[in-house]
Every structure is written in structure tokens, then in C-alpha cells.
Amino acid sequence: MYSSYERSKGYQRFKKVFGGLLAKRPTFVYRNKPLSTDVPYIFLCNHGLNGSVSLFVNEIYFPHSHAPIGQQEIFRDFRTRFAYLYNFNHRLRRGLSKFQSFLNATFEATFTKMMYRLSKCIPSYKDHRSIKTFKMTFDCLDQGVSLMIYPENLEMGYNNIFISYVSGFVAIVKNYFKRSNKDIKVCALYYSKQTNQLIFDEPFSVVKMLNDNKQKEEIADFFVKRTNNLYIDFVQPKIKEAERKYKKKYKT
């Protein structure tokens, strides 16, 4: 689908000029030190409570060259995109009214396919076409471009704390290692619109976990806990401090 996973120069200039109108630049926070931009990673990020907010933030401001992995429905015709966005994103996951879901889905279905292609998004297939997803992720990593995956199990909608992750990223790491003998590290992220933070955990070797006989579900659960800890350690204290200041200022 793409000969290169780097964004075009024209698109980069567009983001630089108009990006601030779409999303506010977040504060980057690192549990340890900033990650090297010379090697690719697999980043696991949450969507944020509004669904696609972190996708826009990452697309505009993320410091690492990356390609996101997204729902394959977005690459299809307008009717399929609208049905997916209306039923799943807005009605089921966000719990919006029919009218608000209709407005949001109509607007988003008009532009999302173009935005996905400009961002070099990789479609995620769950049937026999999954081999295409694997091939594209391998090509992306071969070019030194990181992957951005949103692995939340969204059956309960968008939340601050997560119960489980879809474990497909484990298969990507495992099969890429078999193919290239390269151990791509996996790093959890947490985006909070409320505190305007994008928080980086330290990277971990999934290959080492597999060599230690960890099952894919155990590995996914490990990263769920790492992501939740980013919220507990970095986001919650800022929220509590803001509440304390508010109560102090307006106490009677």
C-alpha cells in the first residue's frame, strides 16, 4: 500500500502550520529518560476518553517517526466507515445520543480515510487478510519506522483504567524476530487530555518474555498494568493537586 512509511514533506508542512488548530501540544513525560529516535519501537497507547483524541495528538506532535495501526473498516467505502464510527465509536463506546453520533460519524467518515492514508496507517485485519497486516508492519519496521498500536479492549468503552489489551502486538514482535532476528522493544504510553500529558514508560523486550515462557495473555496483562501505573503515578497526582488548589481558592 505504501512504498515509504515516512510522511510526505507537504503533509509535514501542513501539520506544522495547522496542527495547533486540531490539538494542543502535550507535555512529554518520561518515567526514565527520553527514548532514542534512532531505532524503531512498538508503542502501545490509549485512545483517551474522547476516542480518537490521542491519535490526533500523536499524529501531530509525537517525537518518533511512526505508523499507526487502525481499523480496516476506515479504509473501505463511506457507508462502511459511517456504520463503524456511528455504531461502535460513538453509540457503543462513547455512549452518545443518536443525533450527536450521526453528526460525528458523518463528519469523521468524510475525512478519516484520507487522514489514515496520509498518516501511513496500517489496516488491522482479523481474517485471512491478516497476512497483509503482518507484511506491512514488517516493511514499516524494516524502514526504521515505529508502530503505534491502540490495543485497548473497548467492550466497556473508553476509560482511564484498563482491564485488558488485545495481544496482537505480541505476534508482531514474535514473527518479526523470527524473520529478522531483531528484538523490537515495546513501550507503553498514556495520553491524558485532562492534564495534557503524553507519558512514556520504559521499553521492554517481549522476546525475552517469550523466552521466559510467558504466554501472550500474560504479556498483554503486563503492559496493561504498566499503562495503568502511568495514570496512577503521573496523571492522578496532577488531578488531585488541581482539585486541591480549586477547593482552596473557592472555599467559603
What does the pLDDT look like over 27-48, one tens digit per residue? Answer: 999 999 999 999 999 999 988 7
Among candidates 79, 72, 80, which has minimal Cα distance to 126? Answer: 72
Contacts of 251 (CB under 8 A, 6+ apart): none
Phi-psi region of 96 (alpha: psi -120 to 50; beta: other; left: phi over 0): beta
Residue 189 — very low, low, confident or very high, per pLDDT cuts 50/70/90? very high
Residue located via cell numbers 503524553: 198
SS3 content of the chain, % helix, strand, coil (to 5): 55, 15, 35
Angle (deg, nearest 10), helices 53-61 and 9-22: 130
Dihedral sign, Cα of residue 14, residue 19, residue 20, residue 21: positive
Beta bridge partners of 190: 199
Does residue 181 carry a pLDDT above 90? yes
Query: What value does the mean pLDDT take over residues 170-196?
Result: 96
Contact 185, 41 (CB under 8 A): yes
In this prediction the pTM is: 0.91
Distance CA 155, CA 133 (A): 23
Instruction: Identify the pLDDT of residue 51.
Output: 52
Q: 3-class SS at 61? A: helix
What percentage of the chain carries pLDDT values higher than 90?
60
Residues 6+ apart with CB under 8 A from 80: 73
- Among residues 220, 210, 241, 236, the alpha carbon closest in space to that of 162 is found at 220
